[in-house]
Structure 1
Amino acid sequence: MRENKPYRDVFDAIADPTRRRLIELLAGSEEIPLHELTAKFDMGRTAVSKHLTILKEAGLVLDRKVGRETRYRLNAFPLREIQDWVAFYSKFWSTNMMRLSQLSEEKDE
């Protein structure tokens, strides 16, 4: 295994709606204990933990122990890969919207 590098693809990690919701919850707070995260879902602690593990494997979540409690926080840096990917393809949307606008103007004339 690679040192200090995530071993799960970030796209795979955010593919699940539950994991995207966990990211949203963690983005709004510095740290959240597992029991508080679990309370936000209609599933058990083990299921939430499994989702958090996948996010951890992708480098999106960091955790630390405080006594018997595990607290989680977001590491948004890996989301940059997704932002860059979307930005690359956004130029195609811009081009298509300009073409559509031009066609609309030509039709109106």
Structure 2
Amino acid sequence: MTNLPKPKYTWRQTWENHPKHFSGYDGSRLIAAIHWYHMGWWNWHMCWNRSKGSSKWKRPNGQADSARAAALEAEACYDAVLRCEWPGMVPEDLQYMLDQEEWMRNRP
């Protein structure tokens, strides 16, 4: 058993036939994904980063030794993005993402 804290967001298996691939959600918002890499580690990537300026950010992904550690790293990245503190972000990036999300929710 790990001594790491429990993830604060909801994580569930992404696909029924892929038991080592999980998606993380903040409510209905898809925020991140983690999956087992056959070389012996877990990859993570934060998904909620569709912004015009995101190509200037530090890459929102990484590797970890366990699924829980990967989930926590992805959550930390997402939380930093929400605070507009992820390296390379500017306030306009966050506002663009929020505006795009609202537009997607309200489109016909």
Whether TM exceeds 0.5 here: the answer is no
Greater strand percent: which structure? Answer: 2
Tell me which of the two structures has the higher relative contact order, counting C-alpha pairs closer than 8 angstroms and 6 or more residues apart.
Answer: 1
Q: State the TM-score, normalizing by the size of structure 1.
A: 0.26
Greater helix percent: which structure? Answer: 1
Larger radius of gyration: 1
